């Protein structure tokens, strides 16, 4: 049984572990049981607002004890990816406070939109104050040769139960990409950097690691590409097959995953 041989778990946050300010069913029990069995757990998010430390504090407050190193946040990866390519750089930041803080922590210097010509890189997260002035600055900068980085290409961010959403980072990235004629380097799921970081922290190799997430296009597609065992959380019985992004296992929530994992372990040892 594949579940029984897994040696590390990467868990998506939004829609898998939590929804807003509440943990989803089974989240605390599942993480607790995996840890009690000595299996490492890391949490992943494309969220471009918060750094790992803030997300770890929120997890802890909600009932899952976590430290910064247990969380991989897209904004932190962004700062590291720019540093890897350019060293400490002059960066035009488009995003919320967490993105700016992550860039500062990676020793980058912010460049204001009107000074776009000085930027060596454009760093895009979801930016609720995105406007024509920022679009002009970012597209001119990348057109002139600045490297273009984005946390993720998510089209929408769900904001409510009725299908309400805010436009995602991907929508802003496309505007810059079209005007600037340059595609972004993306650090978040389904792209490689976030999975590579997760595997480095789990220290178990892709074949023995699982990604657990609710988004077929990011969690499952990215996990498959990186060679992980993929578990899709499909709340509300949304089990319709999705041929392009079919997960190895589909569960309703982390409570069901925990039950299946326990069954698999029991079967393996009897």
With binding defined as CB under 5 A, does residue 15 bind Mg ion? yes
User: Is 197 among the catalytic positions?
Assistant: no
What is the DSSP track for the chain? -GGGG--EEEEE-BTTTEETTEEPTTHHHHHHHHHHTT--EEEEE--SS--HHHHHHHHHHHT----GGGEEEHHHHHHHHHHHHHSS-EEEEES-HHHHHHHHHTT-EE--GGGGGG-SEEEE---TT--HHHHHHHHHHHHTT-EEEES---SEEE-STTS-EEE-HHHHHHHHHHHHT-PPEE-STTSHHHHHHHHHHHTS-GGGEEEEES-IIIIIHHHHHHT-EEEEE-GGG-----GGG--SEEESSHHHHHHHHHHHHHHHH-
- The residue among 151 and 215 lying less far from Mg ion, judged by its C-beta, is 215
x-marked contacts with Mg ion along 137-176 as a string, rule CB under 5 A = ----------------------------------------
Q: How far apart are CA 200 and CA 80, in angstroms?
A: 15
- The residue among 83 and 248 lying less far from Mg ion, judged by its C-beta, is 248
Q: Which stretch binds Mg ion (CB under 5 A): 4-12, 160-168, 180-188, 238-246?
A: 4-12
Out of 14, 50, 127, 253, name the contact with Mg ion by CB under 5 A: 14
Q: How far apart are CA 140 and CA 185, in angstroms?
A: 17
- The residue among 148 and 195 lying less far from Mg ion, judged by its C-beta, is 195
Q: How far is the CB of 14 from Mg ion (least distance, A)?
A: 4
x-marked contacts with Mg ion along 210-249 as a string, rule CB under 5 A = ----xx----------------------------------
Residues constituting the chain: 270
Q: How far is the CB of 219 from Mg ion (least distance, A)?
A: 6
User: Is 12 among the catalytic positions?
Assistant: yes
Q: How far is the CB of 16 from Mg ion (least distance, A)?
A: 5
Out of 6, 12, 187, 253, name the contact with Mg ion by CB under 5 A: 12
Q: Which of 12, 76, 127, 214 is catalytic?
A: 12
Q: Which stretch binds Mg ion (CB under 5 A): 30-38, 185-193, 208-216, 256-264?
A: 208-216
- The residue among 105 and 249 lying less far from Mg ion, judged by its C-beta, is 249
- The residue among 18 and 149 lying less far from Mg ion, judged by its C-beta, is 18
- The catalytic residue positions are 12, 14
Which residues of this protein are in contact with Mg ion, per CB under 5 A? 12, 14-15, 214-215
């Amino acid at each position: 049984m594949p579940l029984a041989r897994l040696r590390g778990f990467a868990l998506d946050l939004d829609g898998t572990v939590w929804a807003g300010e509440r943990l989803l069913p089974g989240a605390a029990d599942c993480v607790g049981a995996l840890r009690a069995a000595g299996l490492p757990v890391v949490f992943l998010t494309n969220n471009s607002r918060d750094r790992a430390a803030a997300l770890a504090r929120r997890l802890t407050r909600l009932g899952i004890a976590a430290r910064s190193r247990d969380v991989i946040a897209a904004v932190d990866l962004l700062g590291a990816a720019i540093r890897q390519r350019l060293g400490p750089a002059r960066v035009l930041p488009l995003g919320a406070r967490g993105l700016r803080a992550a860039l500062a922590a990676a020793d980058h210097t912010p460049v204001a939109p009107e000074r776009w010509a000085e930027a060596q890189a454009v760093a895009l997260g979801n930016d609720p104050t995105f406007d024509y002035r920022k679009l002009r600055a970012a597209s001119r900068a990348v057109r002139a040769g600045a490297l273009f980085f984005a946390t993720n290409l998510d089209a929408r961010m769900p904001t409510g139960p009725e299908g309400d959403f805010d436009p995602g980072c991907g929508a802003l990235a496309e505007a810059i990409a079209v005007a600037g004629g340059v595609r972004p380097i993306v650090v978040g799921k389904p792209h490689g950097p976030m999975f590579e970081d997760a595997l480095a922290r789990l220290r178990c190799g892709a074949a023995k690691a699982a990604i657990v997430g609710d988004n077929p296009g990011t969690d499952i597609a990215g996990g498959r590409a990186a060679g992980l065992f993929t578990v899709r959380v499909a709340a509300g019985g949304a089990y319709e097959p999705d041929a392009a992004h079919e997960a190895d296992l589909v569960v309703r929530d982390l409570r069901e995953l925990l039950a299946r994992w326990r069954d698999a372990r029991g079967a393996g040892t009897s």
